[in-house]
Amino acid sequence: GAVVSQHPSRVICKSGTSVKIECRSLDFQATTMFWYRQFPKQSLMLMATSNEGSKATYEQGVEKDKFLINHASLTLSTLTVTSAHPEDSSFYICSAESGSTPGNTIYFGEGSWLTVV
C-alpha cells in the first residue's frame, strides 16, 4: 500500500538553530501534503497545506517565516523550523493526499519528535 515516510523521527537541536523535517510519498505522487503539530495528549493541529510548485497556505496563527514549507516535487515536502526555541518542541506529522479528486485517501507519515534545548 501507499507509504509516507517522514525523517527524522527524532531530532534534538540547540535553541536558535534551524532544523528540517522531510515528508516523502514513496509510491505515489502527492500534489498536496499537509503539516500538523501535536502537543502531548492533544489533537492534531493543522499548520499548513503544501501544494507542489506553489507557496504553502498557512493556518491562522502559524508563523510562515518560522515554519518554512517547501514542496518542490510531487513526492517531497519539507518543513524547516527556523531559529528554533524550546516552545517549538513538539511532535510534527505530515500527511499526503493520493490523487486529485475529492475524498482521496490521506496517508500519514510516522511523525517527527522535535526537542529544542
CB of 83 to another protein, least distance (A): 26
Which residues is 101 bridged to in the sheet?
none
Comparison of 19 and 92: residue with beta carbon closer to another protein: 92
| 55: helix, strand or coil | coil
Comparison of 25 and 32: residue with beta carbon closer to another protein: 32
CB of 27 to another protein, least distance (A): 17
Q: How far apart are CA 70 and CA 90, in angstroms?
A: 20
Comparison of 42 and 73: residue with beta carbon closer to another protein: 42
Reference 25, options 71, 69, 75, 67; nearest CA is: 75
CB of 3 to another protein, least distance (A): 11
Could you list the residues that contact another protein (CB under 8 A)? 31-32, 34, 38, 41-44, 46, 49, 51, 91, 93, 95, 97, 99-106, 108, 110-111
The gap between the terminal CA atoms of the chain, to the nearest Å, is 37
Q: How far apart are CA 105 and CA 103, in angstroms?
A: 6
CB of 14 to another protein, least distance (A): 24
